[in-house]
Amino acid sequence: MKYVCDVCSWEYDEEQGYPEGGIEPGTKWEDVPEDFVCPLCMVGKDQFSEA
């Protein structure tokens, strides 16, 4: 599953994770920490939608 930032369109792909931010490949979106922010525009998880 993929999730896209509603503000800047940065994409989180559960298969790839976000290793640069400490999120391992295969990490489900619901398991991403609640304090996660978009690496491009710094908005929170609540600003992401399923792609």
Interval 30-42: pLDDT, tens: 999 999 999 999 9
Topology of the domain comprising 2-50: Rubrerythrin, domain 2 (2.20.28)
**pLDDT computed for residue 38 by the predictor:** 98
What is 1-51 written as a DSSP string?
Answer: -EEEETTT--EEETTT-BGGGTB-TT--GGGS-TT-B-TTT--BGGGEEE-
Residue range 1-51, pLDDT digits in tens: 999 999 999 999 999 999 999 999 999 999 999 999 999 999 999 999 999
Map out the domains of the chain as residue ranges: 2-50
**pLDDT computed for residue 6 by the predictor:** 98
